[in-house]
């Protein structure tokens, strides 16, 4: 008999063969670690006030820098509870260029902006946390 694969091994296999998993989200496996360093989940952003300083982490789903946006980059992150929309001003994008362009798992820090039910994180700092994904191969959809 072969040993039963771990949840992480099943997840890797699912992403390799299908590009997704029907099991738990990859960040669910990292949540305890992320919580321990003060990272907020997408779900918990609803509980925070406009202007709150936030640190969150998610898989990079999409990067967009429309020509009409004056150099602003929009990034969509996903964790096990939902999506987090980032606004990265041009000066911040230049300072944190490598993590912005290369990270598959991105740690974003900044101020929460709320207008009604619409929320964005105005980014001040980005850190590439891709190493936490191990061998999990993911690709974002990037548009210019």
The residue count for the chain: 144
- Which pLDDT belongs to residue 3? 84
- Which pLDDT belongs to residue 90? 95
Could you tell me the domains of the chain?
A: 7-143 (2.40.50.140)
Residue 62 gets which letter from DSSP? E
- Which pLDDT belongs to residue 69? 74
Cβ atoms within 10 Å of 31's Cβ, excluding its own: 17
Residue 3 gets which letter from DSSP? P
DSSP assignment of 82-138: EEEEEEE-HHHHHHTHHHHHH-SEEEEEEEEEEETTEEEEEEEEEEE-GGGGTT---
- Which pLDDT belongs to residue 8? 78
Low-confidence spans in the chain with pLDDT less than 50: none
Structural contact between residues 14 and 6, judged by C-beta atoms closer than 8 angstroms = no
**If you average pLDDT over every residue of the chain, what do you get?**
90
Of 34, 37, 47, 48, which Cα lies nearest the Cα of 77? 34
- Which pLDDT belongs to residue 144? 59
Threshold 0.85, pTM exceeds:
yes
């Amino acid at each position: 008999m072969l040993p039963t694969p771990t949840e992480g091994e099943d997840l890797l296999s699912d992403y390799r063969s299908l590009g997704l998993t029907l099991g738990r989200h990859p960040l669910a496996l990292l949540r305890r670690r992320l919580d321990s360093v003060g990272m907020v989940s997408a779900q918990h952003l609803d509980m925070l006030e406009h202007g709150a300083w936030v640190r969150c982490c998610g898989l990079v789903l999409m990067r967009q820098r429309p020509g009409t946006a004056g150099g602003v980059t929009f990034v969509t992150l996903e964790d096990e509870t939902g999506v987090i929309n980032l606004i990265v001003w041009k000066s911040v994008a230049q300072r944190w260029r490598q993590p912005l362009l290369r990270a598959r798992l991105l740690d974003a820090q900044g101020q929460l902006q709320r207008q009604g039910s619409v929320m964005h994180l105005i980014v001040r700092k980005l850190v590439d946390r891709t190493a936490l994904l191990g061998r999990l191969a993911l690709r974002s959809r990037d548009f210019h």
